[in-house]
């Protein structure tokens, strides 16, 4: 009809808005609560992450730790949909299932979650995830991947040209990582030498650090009962005047350590290549990206001796400089300065 008013399109106001419109920080809170409970596929053949908790448990933790109420939170089904969108899958894979579980496992995970959350939310605190990757045989050996160039690998893993050890330090909050290669072995001295090496860069990048939190597994060279490691890490803390907290993941659950996700990305990145020279190994490691960040790669010279240890009287002096969490003594150590 001539002279009639045009209709107003109001489609964008129809329907129900997503839960993030009402709770804008919900996704980040879910991510922070899930981090200690997310496991990298230990085969490193995929970058899939698996969660060890249900959507119902996640909803309960949001109420307990993040100030949400039962009325404000969405349903368990909606929480499950958010977890799937974030890529945290609940499907169980037999190769991803930990082999054993000790009676303290749940308590350790709870304390790790608490320690990590406090570290990430506090100023002047840096959290580092540290671990070694499986030894890398340098030679024309297949790694089970695909390559468009059609390179041919050896039928069998004959004697390698050399074997490279890889130790990594990862900052989950900033997505940056440091890779250290060595032709010797991963020892307590190598681990702390790597920490000493990155310390000036950490101070320059992220400012003065008053407290350092180290996420570790229960490896034989970095266990809190390993006398040489405790000697070196206590000396490091006092030399740099930085309070250091050691937070270990439970036995048989090292795949939950955040740096394992970096190893998964690295393995998928170079699995289609032939790692037939040191230069190629280091070059591929440098070109890998984790959330748009390239790692800092270093080749450590020299060799490291295994088997170093302190006698009981000397170790007693170092024990007097640390505090262990009652009930979880081997897994949580506080080095005060």
pLDDT in tens, 61-118: 888 888 888 888 888 888 888 888 887 877 655 555 555 788 999 999 999 999 999 9
For the domain 99-335, what is the CATH code?
3.30.420.10
Buried/exposed 149-169: b ≥16 CB within 10 Å, e otherwise: eeeebeeeeeebeeebbbbbb
What are the sequence ranges of the domains in the chain? 17-97, 99-335
Summarize the confidence of residues 277-294 as an average pLDDT: 91
Quickly state the pLDDT bin for 4 (edges 50, 70, 90).
low
pTM of the model: 0.77
**Sheet-wide strand order for 243-248:** 296-299, 176-182, 162-171, 125-138, 211-216, 243-248, 332-335, 322-324
pLDDT in tens, 113-165: 999 999 999 999 999 999 999 899 888 877 766 665 556 666 666 788 889 99
With CA atoms as reference, report the closest residue to 263 among 63, 64, 47: 47
């Amino acid at each position: 009809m001539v002279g009639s008013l045009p209709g107003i399109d109001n489609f964008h106001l129809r329907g129900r808005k997503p839960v993030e419109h009402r709770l804008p920080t919900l996704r980040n809170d879910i991510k922070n609560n899930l981090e200690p409970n997310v496991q990298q596929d230990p085969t490193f053949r995929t970058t899939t992450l698996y969660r060890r908790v249900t959507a119902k448990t996640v909803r309960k933790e949001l109420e307990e730790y993040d100030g949400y109420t039962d009325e404000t939170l969405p349903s368990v089904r909606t929480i499950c949909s958010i977890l799937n969108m974030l890529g945290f899958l609940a499907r169980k894979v037999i190769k991803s299932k930990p082999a054993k579980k000790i009676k303290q496992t749940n308590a350790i995970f709870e304390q790790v979650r608490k320690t990590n959350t406090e570290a990430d939310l506090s100023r002047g605190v840096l959290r580092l995830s540290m671990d070694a990757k499986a030894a890398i045989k340098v030679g024309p050996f297949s790694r089970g991947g695909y390559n468009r160039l059609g390179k041919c690998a050896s039928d069998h893993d004959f004697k390698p040209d050399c074997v490279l050890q890889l130790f990594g330090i990862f900052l989950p909050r900033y997505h940056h990582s440091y890779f250290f290669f060595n032709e010797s072995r991963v020892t307590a001295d190598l681990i702390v030498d790597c920490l000493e090496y990155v310390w000036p860069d950490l101070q320059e990048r992220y400012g003065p650090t008053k407290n350092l939190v180290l996420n570790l597994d229960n490896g034989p060279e970095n266990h809190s009962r390993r006398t040489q490691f405790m000697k070196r890490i206590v000396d490091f803390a006092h030399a740099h005047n930085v309070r250091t907290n050691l937070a270990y993941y439970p036995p048989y659950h090292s795949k939950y350590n955040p740096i394992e996700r970096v190893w998964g990305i690295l393995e998928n990145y170079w699995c289609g290549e032939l790692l037939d020279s040191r230069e190629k190994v280091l070059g591929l490691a440098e070109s890998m990206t984790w959330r748009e960040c390239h790692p800092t790669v270093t080749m450590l010279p020299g060799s490291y001796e295994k088997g170093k240890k302190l006698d009981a009287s000397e170790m007693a002096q170092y024990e007097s400089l640390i505090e262990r969490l009652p009930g979880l003594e081997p897994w949580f150590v506080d080095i005060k300065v």
